[in-house]
Structures are given as C-alpha cells and as structure tokens.
Amino acid sequence: MQFSHEASVFHGKKAPEEGTVVGYAAIINAMALKMPMPSIISLISTKNRRYKRNGWNVLTPKHKPEDNLYKHIIFALKYEGVNLLFFKKLFKNLTEQEVIELLQIEPTGQYSRKIWFLFEWLFNKELEIPNADVKIKYTSLLDNKLQYTIKGKDSSRHRILNNLPGTVDFCPLLFKTEKLEAHINANLSDKKNTFLNSIHKEVLQRASSFLLLKDSKASFTIEGENPGNNRAMRWGKAIGQAGQKPLSKDELIRLQQIVIENTRFVNMGFRTKGGFVGEHDRTTGEPIPDHLSARQADLEQLISGLIATNNVLQDETYDAVLAASTIAFGFVFIHPFEDGNGRLHRYLIHHILAKKEFTQQGVIFPVSASILDHIDDYKKVLESYSHPLLDHIHWKETSNHNVEVTNDTIDYYRYFDATKQTEFLYDCVEDTLERVIPLEVTYLQHYDEFKRYIDNNFEMPDKMVAKLVRFLEQNQGVLSKRALKKEFSALKEKEINNIQDTYKNIFL
C-alpha cells in the first residue's frame, strides 16, 4: 500500500507549497480511517527548508520516511506527537497478528514500545508478547517538547512512562504552541494575585459581588437567554461556590437543577435520548445539526472518565487553565444533558480554576464576560471540533425530529485535540485579568469618589445617588430633561452643571 501522498491540495486544504503528505494524515488517507484529519498536517518539501504555516508542518527531504506503515507511524510519533484517536482507529483496522508483526520490526525500539503500550492501554488487553527486558531504559510516552504531560506512572511491562494527562475513558491531548507557552510563562495567576492584593479589601468584596452577577448574566446571554436578576443571582451564588464540592455525577445533576428554573418541558438529568445542537428545517422539522452529542448509551462511561481525568489533572504540576479547558470543553462536546450544558461547561472552568487555586483570593474570575465579548471566536473553537466530525457520525431522524446516532462514536468524545479551545480559554483568562476585572474595580473607585462629592455637597440618600449615576451613565454625563423634571427637580442649574462636570471629570 502506498502511504505518501504528493499534493498541493489535500482534503480541501491548500498546501503552502507542493510536497509530499506524510505521517498521520497520509495513513488516515491511505487506509480511509474514519476520523477527521489532524489540525496540523506534515508535508515534506522538495526544498531544504523547514517551517510551520496555516496548519502545515513543512519539513525537509531528509525527514521523509520510507513509504510503509511502520515508518510513517514512527515519523508521526517523532514529529507529530501521540494521536490517541488515530491509534484507536488504526488498531481496529488491523488484526492482533498484524499489530504483533508491526511490533516485531524493531521489538525493543522506543517507538515500537510506545505502539505496544498504546494498543494494550486502549483495549485493556495484553498481546501475546513477553514483558520488555528490564535492562531497557524507560521512555516517556508523550514527548514533553511537543505535548503537555503529567508526571505519570511507569509501565514496567513496556518500559514506558505513561504521562498521558487522562484516563482511557477520557483523554484529550494538548500540543505545546507558542501562544500557550507564552501564557503559561507569563504566570497570570501570580499577576492576578499581585493586582488583587493592591486593591482595598472593601472595594474588592464589592467588585467580587458585581463580577459574580456579571459572569452569571453573561453565561445566560451566551445561550441566548435574558434571565431576571433573581435567576442570575441564584446561578451566580452557585458559581461563587465553585471548587468547594468534589466533581461527581450527583453534583452535575444538582447544578443542572439550579440552572433550569422551569423543568416542566425539560427531561432533567442525563439524557436518555439522542441530542444535537443546531436548527430544525422550518418546513419539514428535519434536524440540521451543527454539533452531534455523544450517544446516550455512552454517557455513563464518558462522564465517569471525565470525572476520573479531572482527578488526574489535580496533579500540582499541571497548569490550571489547561486542566479547566480539557474538562470544560470535553463536557460540552459530550453534551450529557437535554438543557443546561453550556452554563455547566462554563461553571466547570470556574470549578477547576478554583480547585487548582488559580482563583485563591476568593474573587470570582468572570471569564464568561470575556467569552461573551469574544463570542464569534468562541463559536469558531466549538465548531473546529464539531464540524469535522459531522462527516463521521451517522444518524437518522426520529419521529419527534430528534437525532439517533447509528454508529460507534464514543472515541470522538474522549480522544480529541483540545489545543485550539485551550488557546481561546487562555486568551479569555488574560483578557479577564487585564481588562474585565480592572474595569470593574476602576468603576467602583470612581463611583466612591463621585459619591463622596455628592455626600459632601448634597447629602443625597444612597439610592438616589445610584439613580443619579445611572441617569448620567445613560446620557454621557448629562441629565435628561425628564430626569430634571422628575427625580432631580430640586436641583438648581448651577448645581446641575457642577454635578455633570464632576461626573465627567471622574468617569469620562
């Protein structure tokens, strides 16, 4: 079988130059494996140059592997990292004897042992191969120059250090990118603590209350809902307790009950039917999915795996935002509930950031407010996972215009590349630190300064001061004619001018 593929366009993706597609993409293409192409495709250039551009990793002719399955896998492991979904699909395409024959090419080699470990880990089944010689040096499964890892555990049978950041039932992987490395090295958590410690405690407590409500409302708005203050405050209170209770199935169900106020039209708890995100045809009612949820029969295993992986990622060496992204986006892709998935997905971000002490100051990190301000980018990172899978998930319409998935899809939800989602989340965390929180704190400081001026000169009740500020905010620091005729009719013209000038000097 020929694996290398010479092309300038590959699966609708234009290459930066003519070359030969190798590695994972070449094998997926040649063997017609039922999975999306990797987000980065390796291309061997005809010229002696190496670079990365627009989802292509271009290498020199000397990097070109021999055109057989084993050498393409070795190339992929060396230059493209571990792709768990690929290995699961590949092994399902091969007999056990074919896998053993593949491993016998270089039986003690580090890459053979990685392939061997992955087969037995993914299928929880031992091949008829004796244990590796104890004299062989341990090799890390994931290359920590390419992908993010945990400390891991030794597998003496394979002489492999299993440093996968997850469990067999749920293990998304993250590639090291310039953006993620820059975020991690910027040490945002410490920057946040330094900034918050510089703010007066009373202002910080008030800011925290406002930010909690702001985050709660933003999370509803992202879902196209406009909740009343009571409902938003109820969910805000739940967010404020994030990180206090261990993550469990019962806890997820409890949180869904807080999110869904009116349960008359929603089947609560984990889905017992199919699910999708999208529209219905206005004429026929036929589903038009943007995202297909995990099969209801797989939810028990997937959610158990997600919770177990959350425990694994409590490893103190693993970055808090990476962990939050893995669990939160994994949850929303699984979509285990009929309703409430989006808000619970964003709750999980809070939960993990708090649990891993990213938010140890007790101030909620209003990341939903930043997500709302970058809603188009948010949709793009969700779609970057969902849309490529639509070609690989088979479904039929049910009598009530829902979907019923008819093929085996569980692996798509437990083994995926979460790099794009994590880059987006880290951007939002940075934006929250550098813009959202400072804006709220600055506003309160300005409010207090303006209130002192009003108290010293007019002795207005607090409620009237709040109303005055609201009117001034609505009209660029000028009181409307209606407000002057009604609520503030007692003010003289000179007083009005002084109030307006003071407001503009402080706020604008």
- Specify the 3-state DSSP secondary structure of 272: coil
Domain boundaries, the chain: 1-93, 178-434, 458-507
Instruction: Write the class of the CATH domain 178-434.
Output: mainly alpha
- Contact 132/108 with Cβ under 8 angstroms? yes
pLDDT category of residue 45 using cuts at 50, 70 and 90: very high
- CA-based nearest residue to 13, from 44, 51, 53: 53
Strand partners, 58: 43, 51
Give the model confidence (pLDDT) of 13-33 as tens digits: 999 999 999 999 999 999 999
Segment 86-90 mean pLDDT = 98
Instruction: Provide the pLDDT for residue 472.
Output: 92
Q: What percent of the chain clears pLDDT 90, i.e. is strictly above it?
A: 73
- Contact 36/392 with Cβ under 8 angstroms? yes
Phi/psi for 131 (5° steps) reads -60, 150
Q: What single-letter DSSP state applies at residue 7? A: E
pLDDT category of residue 363 using cuts at 50, 70 and 90: low
Instruction: Provide the pLDDT for residue 220.
Output: 86
Q: What is the mean pLDDT of the chain?
A: 92
- Tell me how far apart the alpha carbons of residues 337 and 105 are, in angstroms, rounded to a whole number: 47
